[in-house]
Amino acid sequence: MCSMRGNLEVLLNPRSVALIGASANPGKLSNVVLANLKEGKFKTYPVNPREREILGLRCYSSVLEIPGEVDIAVVSLPAEASLGPVSDCVRKGIELVIVTASGFRETGPEGGSLEEALVSAVRGSKTRLLGPNTMGLLVPRSGLDTFFIPRERSPRPGVGETAILSQSGAVSVSSLEKVRAAGMGVSSCVGLGNKADVTENDLLELLAEDPQTRCIAMYLESFSDGREFARLAAKMTVAKPIVLLKAGRTRSGARAASSHTGALSSSSEVLVDGALTQAGVVRAYDEEELIDIAKAFVLKGHLEGDRICVVASAGGYGVIASDLIESENHGASLHMAELSDETKERLRRVVPGYSSVSNPVDLTAAVTDGMYDSVLEILQEDRNVDGIMMSLELQPPNVTAELLEVARRRSMSGTKPIVISVFAGESTDNLVKSLGEQRVLAYPTIWRAIRAMAALSRRGTRLRRLK
């Protein structure tokens, strides 16, 4: 159980949600929010003193008039109109209040005073405040969706094992779309906003106990309490990896963060890097890398070492992959595995005589589905190999769609993890998504596949040190 004030567990599985400021006008953001909430597995109560019914739901003039308990309230009103409803939520005994409006600390002293008034309203009560300046929550398992983005414009991913925590609504939406494009789902997505009350540390404590969450992907512009974050992360990353995109690394970035969420300037990047490394947190440097690494952790966990074997049917891809694996400059600083003599001899029996049986293994354009199947089996049995980067190319004449089944079967049943880079022209993105839906780790470029292997290898190194 979390040690924090109040009960944030309602965030993951609410029984009832109120929307304060609900609008009957389809052009209003709160109308979109209500339409999204209406699809959830909980009671939904619109609150608007000027309406009797919205979207077929009875409307209440105040949250205090709603019969029975309310777990979560979303306040969808301008900043200056939010304080009264928040105070009513405290009187009602609501566990979590989400204030979506901007116009608080991020705008200057006047907004800062308004934000402090919100915090004062919930201080000492059992009510927690998420935001302000946030889109709120997406929790697919319960259907909780407080985002004001229509689903037809940004389709949501289904239930999965990655939790997303973000100080930016746009990064939240982008991350969710990338998760969906990867054939994956999320356990939850929480917009932190200005972090006036509920912080990333509170949510780490909550997610540490959530059996649905296996990995946490975070976008932060500031730490609420850096020491506490490091302490929690060091404890948590033993079982659940954390990937962090920490923005505001430069003066310009820190200045932009301040005007976005009111974030304070970060500490020295050297200190931040050291603390995160010691805590086992993996850093990402853009939104694509953030989701790529989270996907790798969910599907593969870790590698036992850093010795990588590359297998491809195009020599050029093998050369590119080799450089990216070993290079410290624009590479992953891993090692190319030295295949055993026994492995090389076994490979010679199943590949053309002009193929290379060293690492990288070049199957040439004469590759067949069966050849690839045999080669992967042999490589997975070599004790000198910790992971395999498979270049899946559908262009060679003797390859069929059956190669996808080979990749899936070997990826799911082999003793050594396989990470796939897919080359299939216009079908590449669809194939990556399809493989992801089958829990096969695949990416549309060689670099993204190898970057994921580097993260898996480094996590493996940390786990071995802890043992």
| CATH number, domain with residue 257 | 3.40.50.261
Residues 190, 96, single domain; the answer is no
Write the pLDDT tens digit of every residue in 362-373: 999 999 999 999
Does residue 312 fall inside a structural domain? yes
> Which long-range contacts (C-beta less than 8 Å, at least 24 apart) are formed by 370-377?
372/311, 372/313, 372/399, 372/403, 372/406, 372/407, 373/406, 373/409, 373/410, 374/350, 375/311, 375/347, 375/350, 375/351, 376/311, 376/406, 376/410, 376/414, 376/418, 377/410, 377/414
Backbone φ and ψ for 129, nearest 5 degrees, come out as -115, 120
Same domain flag for 322 and 445: yes
Q: How many residues does the chain have?
A: 467
Q: Domain of 390?
A: 302-466
Give the tens place of pLDDT for each residue, 171-192: 999 999 999 999 999 999 999 9
**Both 312 and 292 in a single domain?**
no
Beta strands in 221-354 (DSSP E): 242-246, 282-284, 307-312, 335-336
Nearest to 216, CA basis, from 228, 204, 198: 204
In a domain, 389, yes or no: yes
Whether residue 178 sits in one domain with residue 79: no
**Could you report how far apart the first and last alpha carbons of the chain are, in Å?**
26
The three-class DSSP label of residue 385 is coil
Q: Which residues lie below 8 Å from residue 14, measured CB to CB, with a gap of 6+?
A: 40, 42, 71, 72, 142, 144
Q: What is the pLDDT of residue 1?
A: 34
Q: Strand 442-443 and strand 418-423: pairing? A: parallel
How many domains in the chain? 3
Residue 426 lies in a domain: yes
**In angstroms, what CA-CA distances link 136 with 73, 82, 97, 288?**
11, 15, 10, 22
Q: Is residue 137 part of a domain?
A: no
The answer to whether residues 232 and 279 belong to one domain is: yes
Same domain, 67 and 195: no
The half-sphere exposure of 16 on its side-chain side, counting CA atoms within 13 A, is 13
In terms of domains, do 71 and 181 share one? Answer: no
Whether residues 268 and 374 fall in one domain: no
Lowest mean pLDDT among 215-219, 270-274, 311-315: 270-274
Q: Is residue 136 included in any domain, yes or no?
A: no
Model confidence at 267, in pLDDT bands (50, 70, 90)?
Answer: low
Last residue of a domain, one of 270, 301, 332: 301
Distance CA(38)–CA(144), nearest Å, equals: 9
Residue in the block written with tokens 């789902």: 185
313 and 292 within one domain: no
User: In Å, how far are 15, 44, 125, 216 from 69, measured between CA atoms?
Assistant: 9, 12, 16, 31
Say which CATH number the domain at 52 has.
Answer: 3.40.50.720
- Domain end residue (candidates: 256, 276, 301): 301
| Domain presence at residue 138 | no
Q: Under a CB-based contact definition with an 8 Å cutoff, are residues 306 and 459 in contact?
A: no
Domain end, chosen from 263, 281, 301, is at 301
Q: What does the pLDDT look like over 214-255, one tens digit per residue?
A: 999 999 999 999 999 999 999 999 999 999 999 976 666 556
265 and 312, same domain (yes or no): no
CB 377 within 8 A of CB 416: no
Higher confidence at residue 255 or residue 68? Answer: 68
Q: Can you tell me the distance from the alpha carbon of 305 to that of 328, in angstroms, rounded to the nearest whole number?
A: 17
CA dihedral 184, 215, 133, 33 (to 10 degrees): 40
- Domain assignment of residue 223, yes or no: yes
Which residues make beta-bridge pairs with 129? 97
Give the separation between CA 132 and CA 318, rounded to whole angstroms. 50
Sign of the torsion formed by the C-alpha atoms of 293, 297, 303 and 308: negative
What average pLDDT score do residues 273-297 get?
96
**pLDDT recorded at residue 257:** 54
In a domain, 377, yes or no: yes
**Number of neighbours of residue 373 by Cβ within 10 angstroms:** 18
Distance CA 395, CA 424 (A): 7
- Helix 369-380 and helix 402-413, axial crossing angle in degrees, nearest 10: 10
Residue with tokens 């949600």: 17
Clarify whether residues 269 and 179 are in a common domain.
yes
Q: 320 and 291 in one domain?
A: no
Q: Summarize pLDDT for 394-408 with one digit per residue, the tens.
A: 999 999 999 999 999
Share of the chain above pLDDT 70, in %: 95
